[in-house]
Amino acid sequence: MAAASGSDRAQARSAGAQSTGAPPTSARWTGPAWTVRAAVRAFRRTHPEVGDEVCVALSGGADSLALTAAAVTEFADVTALVVDHGLQTGSDEVARSACQAAQRLGARSRALVVVVDPDGSGPEAAARTARYAALDASREGRPVLLAHTLDDQAETVLLGLGRGSGARSLRGMAAWDAPWGRPLLGVRATDTRAACRALGLDWWDDPHNVDPAFTRVRLRREVLPLLEDVLGGGVAEGLARTAELLRTDDDELDRLAAAVPVSGDGGLDVSVLEPLPTAVLTRVLRRWLLAHGCASPTYAHLSSVAALVTDWHGQGGVAVGGTGPDGSGVSAGRGRLVARRRHGKVVLEIDRASGAGT
């Protein structure tokens, strides 16, 4: 007898689980519920490398619950990973309920308890770091589907615009950036809630999602509605479309930058860099700095290092921070990591004395 396909196995498992009364029946996959399921199906077709077995990051909220329900119908094997950040009273019970909801839908589930260490980065960033680390450690080689929606994408782009970011930030989140998949980037949050209602699923509303202490909450609840009103609607979709257009351009510029050679001693030949358009040059410099221990090159770093090529007048080096060439480590007592122009090249050095390049 022929082996069942992934889709057949998923349908069979879903049908079997329906005998418990938990997973949604096929008759309910209409309207917004079908919008969610169709987005997951399209994601799988577009990215076959995702495979038949996936994890879903489930918080218990409407977005991730709707994604889990759709994933169970479209993939052969689904495991819900529920991260308990421990930041709110009763978070363990929320995680337990989310795990039970996933099981009723026909998925396996695991609760992951993490310790969030702000470490100066703020609670949102610290929670995100802990969450992604836990998901990565628990996925067992499988991709993880995340429930970011079109609304989340619009907020990301708007944040980038407000901060004066470049294309790397304004391109927003990718639908597939292994091992992370985001099938719902074209789906509105109103549709995920409507899908849950249609499927008879009760979701959890995170109190943090209405707390104005968080910038994203004010963007979602104040700024975007005002823009929608002033501009006559379609703002969220327009911001998401901007991200998609910029992603295409940014990918091509990254491809051009990746083809620029680095000399054997780790430096960059000025003669190679000088003819490059600024958009390519700054990407070359960013890749080079990242590869040599500068963890987070800023606009100021890149502009100043680029001036060593485009506006050379014998200026001194540019302190760029980081761990130093080959991860050698730089401390205040040893010196600073500095980009400098020497003998027709841009090089990185541990700076123990000031002085211009040559």
Q: Which residues are annotated as a binding site for ATP?
A: 59-64
Tokens of 54: 């996936």
Annotated binding site: 59-64
Enumerate the β-bridge partners of residue 319.
Answer: 338
Tokens of 44: 């799988």
What is the distance between the alpha carbons of residues 221 and 240, in angstroms, rounded to a whole number? 17
Tokens of 214: 């968080």
DSSP states of 174-198: -SEETTEE-TTTTS-HHHHHHHHHH
Tokens of 273: 């860099």
- Give, in order, the Cα–Cα distances in Å from 297 to each of 81, 110, 203, 302, 358: 33, 37, 40, 7, 24
**Beta strands at 53-57 and 144-145: parallel, antiparallel or unpaired:** parallel
What is the distance between the alpha carbons of residues 31 and 259, in angstroms, rounded to a whole number? 47
**Beta strands at 180-181 and 144-145: parallel, antiparallel or unpaired:** parallel
347 and 329 in contact (C-beta within 8 Å)? Answer: no
